Amino acid sequence: MTDDDPRAAALSLRPSSSARRARRTRRFLTGLLAGMGVLHMVAPKPFDGIVPRALPGEARSYTYASGVAELAIAGMLAAPPTRRLGGVAAAALFVAVFPANVQMAWDARNADRARRAIAFGRLPLQGQLIAQALRVARGED
């Protein structure tokens, strides 16, 4: 193909596979955070149960606050001007809610196999979410 070949021009407009992967990652994080944020608002009770008991105040306050944060960060990730800041905020949120995942695992230690698998399986996934958010923050999307 030469520079004046229309096929060459069309190929140069197609995003690279890494760009497509980054866009999927960003969309996944945006959808995940938006969905979880909505769930925190409309069905808060399960989230109240995993708020670490060592935290002062009402569990519901933490549930609503994290839901608001998830919705706000989803909006930041969706908007190009705030996308990188949204990546930093998402990583910080995933770190901040990790103690709730630990609480969930601790509470599930004597539960049935399926509940234990879900609770303990979430722990390493949190690291993957943090890594993906940091990629967005670095502009690797």
Concatenated DSSP letters of 62-123 = HHHHHHHHHHHHHHHHHSGGGHHHHHHHHHHHHHHTHHHHHHHHHHTTTS-HHHHHHHHHHH
Angle at 131 between CA 102 and CA 61, to 5 degrees: 45
Amino acid identity at 76: M
Q: Domain locations in the chain?
A: 18-137
pLDDT at 23: 86
pLDDT at 72: 98
Q: List per-block mean pLDDT (blocks of 10 residues) for the chain, which spans 141 residues.
A: 57 70 90 97 94 94 97 96 96 95 91 90 93 90 57
123: its two tokens: 């722990």
Residues 6+ apart with CB under 8 A from 68: 37
